Amino acid sequence: MVVEPRVKDFICTTAHPVGCAANVKNQIEYVKSKGKAEGPKKVLVIGASTGYGLASRISVAYGYGADTLGVMFEKESNGRRTASAGFYNTRAFEEQAHKDGLYAKSINGDAFSVEIKEQVINTIKEDLGKVDMIVYSLAAPRRTMPDGTRYTSVLKTVGEEYSNKTLVLKDNTITEAHISSATEEEINATIKVMGGEDWIDWMKALNDAGVLADKVITVAYSYIGPKITFPIYAEGSIGQAKKDLYKSCDIINERWPQIKAKVAINKALVTQSSAAIPIVPLYITLLYKVMKDKGLHEGCIEQMQRLFMDKILDDSQVDENGFVRMDDWEMRDDVQSVVAERWDTVSNDNVKEIADIDGYWEDFYNMFGFKIDGVDYSADVDIM
Ligand code: NAI
C-alpha cells in the first residue's frame, strides 16, 4: 500500500512504517555521534514510543549502552489502516537495538492498569533482574481506575476564562482562542490522569516486587514556559496536574530513600500531545524561529541526549526547586524577549515571516514518518 498523510485537526491518522523507522534511525545516529557516558544499564521507560519518551529510550540505549524495557499504548495495523506511529517507532527501535546487541522489549497496554504493572515486573524479573532507572513520560488523555472509574483530562484554565491568539493548524491563520475554565471535577480528573499518583503507584509496585536496584533514579517530565502560556499551561488544569507531579516527586524521595526522583522541565516541542493544546502551537512557531536564528534550537532527541548525558546524573545541575532545567535555552532572556515582542505583533500579514510555520509542520509530519529525507513515499509498503 502507498501510505499518505491524512491530517485531521492536530493529528495525523496515518503513519508511514518506513518513515518512522528512518526517524528512529536518525535519532539513534544523533545519539551515537555524541558519544557515550557511564550511566544506568537497565532502564524502564513508561511512555516509550513517541516524543520525549522515545527520545529518552534512544538516549539511554545508545548513550549509556542500556538495556531498555518500554511501555506504550499504541495501535497495531488491522491490514487496512496503518498502525500508529508509536507502534512503528517501537518496532524499528527494537530491531536496531537487537542488531546492536542491546536488550529491548516493549509492552503495549495501559500503563495505568495493575495488569500492565504486573507484566512489566514479571518481564524485569525474567529478563533483567532489576532496573536502575525509570523514565516516566506518559502523556495520556484518560485514565481508567481498577474499579472501572474513568477520568478524562482537560486543557482549560483555572478560575478566569482566557482569550489570546492561536494558530489555526488547518490553514496556518491566526485567530482568537477562547479557553473556558475547568470545573472542580475537571481539575481533579486532570490531576488523576496527568498528576503523579500513577508515578508513585509504579515506584511502589516496582519496590514491593524487589525489582529496583540499590541505587535507582526516576525522572518525570514537565513544562513551565513563559507568561503567555501560563493561563493554559502552568496555571491551567494541566499545570495543577504538574504541581501534583512535583509533590509526588517529593513523596517518592521521602518514602524510599534508595530512590532518587527528579523532575525535568523540558522545552516546548511539537509532539502528539502538545499539538492538542490551544495557543501553544503559535508560541512554538515563534519560539522555533528565534531559537533557530540563534543556533539554539533542539528537538526531542537533542533535549534528551543532553538531559541524560550532561544533567540527570549530576545532582548539582538543578534549580532552586530541585528541577532539572532542560528549558534553560528556551527561557533565556534574549530568546523570550523576542518571542514576547513578536507575540504582540504577529498577525495573518506577517505570520509566515516571523513564525516558523514550515518548521512546525516539518516536525509534525516527521512524527508520523512523513517528509523524511531519503524515504520513497511513492513505493508500496507493508503496513503490518
Ligand atoms: P507523546 O504524546 O509524544 O508521548 C506519550 C507517550 O505515552 C507515548 O509513548 C504513548 O504511547 C504513551 N501513553 C499514553 N497513554 C498511555 C497509557 N495509558 N499507557 C501506556 N502508555 C501510554 O507526549 P510527549 O509530549 O512526549 O509527553 C511526555 C511527557 O513530557 C509528558 O509528561 C509531557 O507533559 C511532558 N512534556 C512535554 C512537552 C512538549 O512540548 N511536548 C514539554 C515539556 C514536558
Q: What is the pLDDT of residue 189?
A: 98
Return the C-alpha cell found at 334.
534574549
Quick check: CB of 249 below 6 Å from ligand 1?
no
d(CA 338, CA 360): 18
Atom of ligand 1 nearest to the CA of 53: 26
Distance (angstroms) between ligand 1 centre and the Cα of 141 equals 10
- CA dist 213 and 216 (Å) reads 6
Q: How confident is the model at residue 156 (pLDDT cuts 50, 70, 90)?
A: very high
* Closest residue to atom 34 of ligand 1, CA basis: 222
pTM strictly above 0.85: yes
Q: How does pLDDT run across 14-68, given as a tens digit for each residue?
A: 999 999 999 999 999 999 999 999 999 999 999 999 999 999 999 999 999 999 9
| Distance from the alpha carbon of residue 48 to the mean position of ligand 1, in angstroms | 8
Q: In ligand 1, which atom is closest to the CA atom of 84?
A: 11
Give the number of the atom of ligand 1 that is nearest the alpha carbon of residue 194: 32
Average per-residue pLDDT in the chain? 96
Ligand 1 binding pocket includes 366 (Cβ within 6 Å): no
Is the minimum distance from the CB of 139 to ligand 1 under 6 angstroms? yes
Which long-range contacts does 245-248 make (Cβ < 8 Å, 24+ apart)? 245/194, 245/195, 245/196, 245/199, 245/220, 246/196, 246/222, 246/321, 247/196, 248/195, 248/196, 248/197, 248/199, 248/200, 248/220
Mutate to test the pocket of ligand 1, among 20, 24, 73 (most ligand atoms within 8 A of CB): 73
pLDDT score recorded for residue 121: 98
How would you list the strands of the sheet with 131-136, edge to edge?
A: 104-108, 67-72, 42-46, 131-136, 212-222, 259-265, 324-325
Q: Is the pLDDT of residue 274 over 90?
A: no
Alpha carbon of 100 to ligand 1 centroid (Å): 26
Nearest to 55 by CA among 361, 291, 367, 384: 367
Decide if pLDDT at 10 tops 90: no
- Residues 6+ positions from 145 with CB-CB distance below 8 Å: 112, 151, 192
Catalytic residue (choose from 62, 233, 283, 365): 233
Q: How large is the average pLDDT for residues 313-326?
A: 97
Q: Give percent of the chain above pLDDT 70.
A: 100
Measure 270 CA to ligand 1 centroid, in angstroms.
11
Structure letter (DSSP) for residue 157:
B
**Ligand 1 in reach of 111 Cβ (< 6 A):** yes
Tell me if 271 CB under 6 Å of ligand 1.
yes
Residue for cell digits 495501535? Answer: 75
Q: Considering only CA atoms, which residue is closest to atom 38 of ligand 1?
A: 268
CA–centroid distance, residue 190 to ligand 1 (Å) = 14
Q: Is 233 a catalytic residue?
A: yes
Cell digits for 262?
527528579
268/254 Cα distance (integer angstroms): 30
